[in-house]
């Protein structure tokens, strides 16, 4: 008998969305039920309408047998810090794939990712760990995305693109085929990337221009 349960990490706006997607996945038989959520002191707790138990702060959490943490945070730096703290306590992580997402059989997906409704991973995509892929976003053939990256809704990463670790893409951003987006880069909402983006750079507008 499978006794695994999800422990949601985070309770902000995106966290509440992830709870909804996890419930959909559980109803479809592709995810375990939710046991409760973790949240540090000083942050607002999950709305009572969700009916979930607060399991305490991250540094007080002791994983139960079968617990699988579900990282419900979009901020790139916060995700990394949370993962480090939880792994130090022996936590394991669940990759959530919404039932309406379209995943090619040759796509490779790492640990702790969240793939939201109607997202698409095309042929031979390589996804690192703890990546957030929000609704209606797509990753084209043979593209590679580094760990901890967040892609907001309606992002279009076309074919043969390489994205470094901890990059961030605002809603509606688009990257043309064959380009590189470096580690820690930020691509603003609606930007169209027509040339490779260096590590740590911030680009915005269409065509994308470097801000810093």
Question: Catalytic residues, which ones?
Answer: 141
User: E strands of 31-146, at which residues?
Assistant: 34-38, 67-71, 96-97, 102-103, 108-109, 114-115, 120-121, 126-127, 132-133, 138-139, 144-145
CB 25 within 8 A of CB 31: yes
- As given in the structure block, the two tokens for residue 186 are 């930020």
Q: Which residue has the tokens 């007080």?
A: 60
Alpha helices by DSSP H, listed for 68-112, are 76-88
CB 85 within 8 A of CB 115: no
Nearest to 69 by CA among 166, 4, 115: 4
């Amino acid at each position: 008998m499978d006794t695994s349960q999800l422990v949601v990490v985070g309770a902000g706006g995106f966290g509440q969305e992830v709870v909804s997607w996890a419930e959909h996945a559980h109803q479809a038989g592709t995810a375990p039920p939710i046991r409760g959520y973790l949240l540090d002191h000083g942050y607002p707790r999950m709305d009572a309408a969700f009916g979930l138990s607060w399991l305490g702060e991250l540094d007080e959490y002791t994983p139960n047998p079968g617990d699988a943490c579900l990282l419900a945070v979009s901020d790139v730096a916060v995700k990394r810090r949370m993962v480090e703290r939880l792994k130090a306590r022996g936590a394991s992580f669940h990759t959530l794939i919404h039932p309406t997402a379209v995943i090619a059989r040759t796509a490779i997906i790492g640990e702790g990712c969240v793939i939201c409704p109607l997202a698409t991973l095309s042929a031979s995509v390589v996804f690192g760990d703890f990546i957030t892929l929000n609704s209606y976003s797509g990753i084209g053939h043979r593209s590679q995305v580094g760990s901890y990256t967040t892609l907001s809704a309606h992002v279009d990463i076309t074919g043969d693109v390489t994205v470094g670790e901890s990059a961030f893409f605002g809603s509606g951003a688009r990257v043309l085929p064959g380009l590189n987006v470096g580690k820690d880069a930020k691509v603003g909402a609606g930007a169209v990337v027509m040339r490779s983006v260096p590590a740590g750079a911030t680009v915005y507008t269409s065509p994308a221009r470097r801000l810093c």
